[in-house]
Amino acid sequence: MGATPLLEIEGLTKTYPGVVANEDVSLTIQPSEVHALLGENGAGKSTLVKIIYGLVRPDRGTMRLNGAPFAPASPSAARQSGIAMVFQHFSLFEALNVAENVSIGMETPPPTRELAHRIREVSETYGLPLDPHRLVGDLSAGERQRVEIIRCLLQNPRLLIMDEPTSVLTPQEVEILFSTLRQLSADGTAILYISHKLEEIRTLCDEATILRRGRVVANCNPREQTAREMAELMVGSALQSPGRSNVTPGAPLLELKGLSAKSSSPFGSELKSVSLEARRGEVLGIGGVAGNGQDELLAVLSGEQRVEPDAIQFGGAPIGHLGPNARRNLGVLAAPEERLGHAAAPEMSLTENAMLTGSVRMGLSKSGFLNWGQARAFAEDVIQAFDVRTPGAGNAARSLSGGNLQKFVIGREIKQSPQVLVVNQPTWGVDASAAAAIRQALLDLAEGGAAVIVISQDLDELLEISDRFAALNEGRLSAFRETSELTMDTIGLMMGGAHDMEVAHT
């Protein structure tokens, strides 16, 4: 290509106290190119795009946009230069409607009525139906992403940055997103696509830049590489896939019979007649788009939300009315999705956090008095067994990186040798090698005769470790099917697929 590149980055360096986030990073994006930015958590992808979007100033290095020097002082300056960004954690406001959300992300928004009209127009052009007057709090994750994308498109960007856009979408929604992105690219917009889902990048992107520990380690054409090769470039070593010997499932351990429960949050989903049966030695996978009842299901299984005694049975005995500690005593343990604030108390040390869920089963307290020595030994045991990188058990949970804290939180439950373990998003935001370790630990636990229920939005993860799979859709759980018989299409249909889009078209 002889034309001027759209964006040229040279020698960009940004250090934070103690960490080099980006070191001498260079990359070039051509107009209409779909460019992938790959790397593990903490590789420096977020810092790099924040620099391009004007949220962070680099220490050294230059950027050129269309050949002219480019150093945005604020996101607003970046937007005026034609750069738009769709955030991983949406920058949306639940209590505002779609039009207000779009308006607030624009430099010079037109009057509300005209804006609503233009939102309809753009959403039809790109096949992303949206009603401008609906509250964002009532939208699904896929629809929320459309709000973000349309907000960007209304400003006619030349470069669209997308940070992990598919992590919350069903396979059908991913297809729709990809066709939108291809259409945009054909219209001349360049796309910088951040992801760690390698198969997606292979189908969508023209170029890939791989970051590791803040440095560019490779540039490649993703269509000519295998996913495994790219993964190994990201991690910097050979990857091990989790595996286990075949186990035949034993007797049913935990049963849910037609359980219904209201949600405690105004934007949550109500559980409607959920039935499942978890047997010894098997891993149940529960998929579905976020916000379809996952949090509620975990709350009901862990005992945070009590239900009718008979709705949940453990080894034939009713336990629906029991609270979390009574269930722990029986061997029904759970690890929720939110690491900081739900699974662990952020300001408390790892020892204290180990005490919080471990005191019942590990005998860490006696007639109301706590045995800190034992709690510390238990925490250190978890740290060692699960390779949690921390200076010691006395450190606050908040000081650990997401992946390390996740290993601790999951390890803490596994070490209590549960009969039934329920986990929600066990590897969310965890890098590839730590994720593999957590999955292996869950498989080992099942092999040892426990029943494991994994709730996750990562379909690849569920296909890799679960024996049977079902999906949550608007609070309803589909029937379980053997994972080995599933295809992506059937999974998409089980998850409710894109049916909401057809409705929106009419």
Partner 1 sequence: MDLTSINPVLLIASLMVAATPILLAALGELVVEKAGVLNLGVEGMMIIGAVSGFIIAVETNSAALGFLFAALGGMALSLIFALLTQVLLSNQVATGLALTLFGLGFSALLGQNYVGIRAPSVPDWNIPLMSDVPVIGPILFQHDPIVYGSLLLVVAVWAFLKYTRAGLILRAVGESHDSAHALGYKVRRIRVAAIAFGGACAGLGGAYLSLVRVPQWTEGMTAGAGWIALAIVVFASWKAGRVLIGAYLFGGVTVLQLNLQAAGANVPVEILSMSPYLITILVLVLISADRSRAALNAPAALGRVFHASG
Distances, alpha carbon 89 to alpha carbons 99, 127, 242, 387, 429, in Å: 19, 23, 29, 28, 12
Helix (H) or strand (E) holding 119: helix 112-125
CB count in 10 Å sphere of residue 11 = 13
Find the binder of partner 1 among 4, 19, 60, 104 (CB under 8 A): 104
> Count residues contacting partner 1 (CB under 8 A)?
27
Per-residue x/- track, 210-249, partner 1 (CB under 8 A): ----------------------------------------
Find the binder of partner 1 among 100, 131, 444, 447 (CB under 8 A): 100
Rule CB under 8 A: is residue 103 a binding residue for partner 1?
yes
Find the binder of partner 1 among 42, 58, 61, 105 (CB under 8 A): 105
**What does the block give as tokens for 301?**
């299984």
**What does the block give as tokens for 262?**
């209201």
For partner 1, the closer CB: 47 or 406 = 47
CB of 44 to partner 1, least distance (A): 12
Helix (H) or strand (E) holding 186: helix 171-186
Q: Which of residues 44-63 bind partner 1 (CB under 8 A)?
A: 46-47, 50, 54-56
Distance CA 420, CA 283 (A): 10
* Sequential DSSP letters for 67-85: TEE---SSHHHHHHTTEEE
Find the binder of partner 1 among 31, 75, 127, 242 (CB under 8 A): 75
- Residue 77, classified by CB atoms within 10 Å of its CB into exposed (0-12), middle (13-18) or buried (19+), is middle
CB of 341 to partner 1, least distance (A): 12
**What does the block give as tokens for 172?**
């059908």
Instruction: Mark residue 331 as left, alpha or beta (left: phi above 0; alpha: psi -120 to 50; beta: remaining).
Output: left
Rule CB under 8 A: is residue 39 a binding residue for partner 1?
no
For partner 1, the closer CB: 75 or 402 = 75
CB of 393 to partner 1, least distance (A): 26
Find the binder of partner 1 among 5, 58, 109, 331 (CB under 8 A): 109
Per-residue x/- track, 121-160, partner 1 (CB under 8 A): --------------x-x-----------------------
Q: Would you say 253 and 279 are in contact if contact means Cβ atoms under 8 Å apart?
A: yes
For partner 1, the closer CB: 99 or 420 = 99
CB of 267 to partner 1, least distance (A): 9
Q: Which residues bind to partner 1, rule: CB under 8 A?
A: 46-47, 50, 54-56, 74-76, 79, 87, 89-96, 100, 103-105, 109, 135, 137, 266
